[in-house]
Amino acid sequence: MARKSLLWKTGGLAGQGVMTTGLSMSKLATRSGAYVFDYAEYPSLVQGGHNTYEVLIQDTQPTASAWTLDCLVCLNEDTFNLHQHRLDEKSLLVYDPADFKPEDTVAIPLALPLKELLAELKANTIMVNTIALGASWALLSGNKTILETLITEQFERKGTEVVKQNSACALAGYDYVLKHFQKHMKNFPWKTDAPAQAVLTGNDAFSLGAAAADCKFYAAYPMTPASSVLSTLAAWQPQTEMIVRHAEDEVGVVSEALGASFAGVRSCVGTSGGGFALMTESLSYAGIAEIPLVLFLSQRPGPATGLPTWTEQGDLLFAAHAGHGDFPKIILAPGDQEEMVELTQTAFDLADIYQTPVIVMSDKFLSESHASVSLDSIERIVARVQNRGKNITETPENYLRYQVTDDGISPRLIPGVPGAFYQANSYEHSEDSHTTEDAEDRTNQAEKRARKLATFIENDYEPCAVYGDLEDAEIIFVSWGSTKGPVSMAREMLEMKTSHLHFSNVYPLDEEALKNFFKHDGEYVLVENNMTGQFGQLLRQQTGINIERKILKYDGRAFYPEEIVAAILQQQGEAS
Amino acid sequence: MTDASLDFAGFTPTWCGGCGNWGIGKAVEMALKKQNLTPDKIAMLFDIGCSGNMNDFINAYAMHTLHGRALATAVGVKIANHSLPVLVTGGDGALYGEGGNHFLHACRGNHDLTVIVHDNSVYGLTTGQVSPTAHKGHKSKSTPQGTIDRPVNPLLLALTQGATFIAQGFTAQLPQLAEMIEAGMEHKGLAIINVLQPCVTFNKVNTYAYYLKRIQKLDENYDPTDYHAALKIAHLPMEEKFPLGIIYKTDRPTYQDELPQLEAGPLVHQSPFTNAGELAKGWR
């Protein structure tokens, strides 16, 4: 393939600054005209434990990480021991001879005396990562000025002395490589005139989408991997004027959001599986009382506390069936950062239009991985005009909050408008919102609510995205949410005709709209980051479509594209 | 619904004859009328229970929430539109039991809400199980041998957790109760009004006669701004003595006062945020 790429990785003890160094690498690369996807792993600990950060740098947008490392920078011996199986004879292995000496490695060992340089510079121990960053950047043939600018910007807030020390460290690493390892430096077609790009995580993307959608109230209780939405939105309050509440528990969180939404502002909550479980009773209230609500659900492997800092797509069936009783809900699962900005805004529109809960699903892999997105695209996406559905701010004659309508949607008067009143009633109610146990009222209201989903299918439902030629394909991948990226990269690697159906509207699913996508001769292969093929189950339940061939991963790690390729080749081998 | 007269009176209450809720319902209506409010000018949050069934008996912009969640939901309503007076109505089971955590944290935040607790020491709507304010030994359907737990002391709880207006009323003393609710609504900050409300059907212990023997009017010279005096008074229910009146009142900025976003007016009336593109520039 003509694609140019570099895969860089660093690892060290938690607290050694691995996360900062990694993000800096992503920014250096995008500022130099490349595109990135990065991925970090860390245990559920504040100090100690092994942290890693890998950045895939390409001349086109990467959508996942890759397997073979071009450069592994070890801040400790564990990094070498744990990741040496991803090195080949062209890989650069950077280590500090004061820490350890790599034995029996296929890679090219480069001894970088980190501790010695640190001592010469009389710098703080934490700055070892800055030396490593400088050295890494030189090994990737990066531009020195871009490095200096980034370091200055990054440490400006901490004063000139800190900037000076860090610059000295970064340059010491950079110059050491130029002096000693010039012949090992990797080439990359860096550009100087590239359009400006942001480097953002899925959680950043959700936060941006929420701000762009004019969400005015966000409540949450911290839970990995959703927590950074809370801190990002909280930090933005002076600009956005959004009110961000860290409430007492997830039940309080969702109740407050429903109160704020009832009062007329766009409202949202964010959590992971355990917190979402606590919110489900209120989800049901939003369903019957027809209160718009957006819920951000970033999955991690369960059950229970599970693997808090790792990834899985294990909550789809739970989300689809969450809440007691029958009521309409919509679930969106963006496949990447850009889609996340866009679909988050869609979620707020849909919540208003259909006056019901809309769940935006992510997982640790999407929530915490950064990807480059051009600022121009972001500008374009966030410029979208909102649709607030049948919200009204003037009292019509004989207003009925739960008026039975053909499309199932009743006009929603914003409370406080003079001349009227009504209840958002958690009991079954008549059209005028009073509690009722009347059989006819019950049937009418239940059917009215159900009609909203039919209207959604007709007006706003997006069946799935199609990549590649379905007619010709030997293999047709089926994915949802964050597995989109690894599947697209796997398709590029496979030397056979493939196609890809990606679902970001995951609930409800419409049989009529979908059956045409599943009538082709190629073999359909479901790719999911969970143990039981939950999307496959949902698809079968909702449409009768059954996908028998599956590639499933549930060890808490995301797919590497190479793993999908290997699974396909292995399955093909077994079949023939 | 629209109603030209915008009267507070909704459906005829379905409470049992003699139920203490009749008095509370009347007192709420009196307090609202006294303030020249109409149903379109307030938000009421009803919890689940006999008390919460007031949702159909008093007209207002209202939420009939889930059990235990009226107070937490009210926090969101008030933040989104602080120009609406917000009244929360629920039982002791809802507010001190199922929603106990929300109660603590609403006190801490001093949200500008008025909370009326219908305290009858039983779960009426589910036909008489023991509630958090029932005294030790109280026999009920769920505690046939008598409850082992000590009762929650709502007054002491509210006082120590930061509520800025704490009162106790008795449903049989209607004018005093109406005045108390009015004072609670006029107070800036979290007002907790615990109302002793006999359940004539399921509680044969905490009857009108029981309370009439044990209620205590506050001394004429009692100073409700004195925290330590209030602590002593708030402790009395532990000895089955029930002080009536405004037990504590202090001024502290409300949660809404401390939100700079609300200086420009109610959140719901603010113009949309349109500058999201700028935010992304921080990720370069």
Contact B64 A260 (CB under 8 A): no
| pLDDT tens string A17-26 | 999 999 999 9
Contact A217 B79 (CB under 8 A): yes
Contact A259 B10 (CB under 8 A): no
| pLDDT tens string A439-459 | 999 999 999 999 999 999 999
Contact A259 B76 (CB under 8 A): yes
When CB atoms are compared, the residue of B59, B60, B283 closest to A198 is: B283
| pLDDT tens string A501-515 | 999 999 999 999 999
Better-scored residue on pLDDT, B249 or A14? B249
**CA–CA gap between residue A489 and residue A486 (Å, rounded):** 5
Q: What is the pLDDT of residue A300?
A: 98
Identify whether B12 is part of a domain.
no
When CB atoms are compared, the residue of A199, A237, A419 closest to B283 is: A199
- How far from chain centre, in Å, is Cα A202? 3
Q: What is the pLDDT of residue B4?
A: 47
- Which residues lie below 8 Å from residue A341, measured CB to CB, with a gap of 6+? A205, A206, A208, A209, A212, A373, A378, A381, A382
Q: Which domain holds residue B148?
A: 20-283
Residue of A nearest to B101 (CA): A248
- The mean per-residue pLDDT over the stretch A429-437 comes to 97
Structural domains for chain A: 5-194 (3.40.920.10), 199-382 (3.40.50.970), 391-459 (no CATH), 465-575 (3.40.50.920)
How many domains does one find in chain B? Answer: 1
Q: Does the pLDDT of residue A430 top 80, yes or no? A: yes
In CATH, what number is assigned to the domain containing residue B148? 3.40.50.970
Q: Does the pLDDT of residue B3 top 80, yes or no? A: no
- Which residues lie below 8 Å from residue A416, measured CB to CB, with a gap of 6+? A263, A264, B40, B41, B43, B61, B81, B83, B84, B268
Provide φ and ψ at B168, rounded to 5°.
-130, 130
| pLDDT tens string B183-216 | 999 999 999 999 999 999 999 999 999 999 999 9
Give how far B38 is from chain A: nearest CA, Å: 9
Contact B268 A264 (CB under 8 A): yes
Buried b (16+ CB within 10 A) or exposed e, A429-460: bbbbbbbbeeeebeebbeebbebbbebbbeee
Q: Which two tokens stand for residue A140?
A: 């990737």
Give how far B83 is from chain A: nearest CA, Å: 9
ipTM of the complex: 0.97
Best A426, A434, A438 member to test B by mutation, with max B CBs in 10 Å, is A426
Give how far A28 is from chain B: nearest CA, Å: 9
Identify whether B184 is part of a domain.
yes
- Identify all chain B residues contacting A204, using CB atoms and an 8 Å cutoff: 283
**CA–CA gap between residue A309 and residue A228 (Å, rounded):** 13
- The mean per-residue pLDDT over the stretch A226-253 comes to 98
Q: What is the pLDDT of residue B93?
A: 97
Local confidence band at B15 (pLDDT 50, 70, 90 cut-offs): very high
When CB atoms are compared, the residue of B63, B262, B272 closest to A259 is: B63
- Using CA atoms, how far residue B264 sits from A233, B83, B189, B215, B260, in Å, is 20, 12, 19, 45, 8
Residue of A nearest to B259 (CA): A243
Q: What is the pLDDT of residue B5?
A: 58
Contact A414 B56 (CB under 8 A): no
Residue of B nearest to A425 (CA): B64
Q: Which two tokens stand for residue A37?
A: 């996807």
Mean pLDDT of chain A: 96
- Identify all chain A residues contacting B11, using CB atoms and an 8 Å cutoff: 434
Q: How many CB pairs under 8 A join A and B?
A: 222
Q: Does the pLDDT of residue A117 top 70, yes or no? A: yes
Q: Does the pLDDT of residue B281 top 50, yes or no? A: yes
Q: What is the pLDDT of residue A212?
A: 98
Q: Does the pLDDT of residue A573 top 90, yes or no? A: no
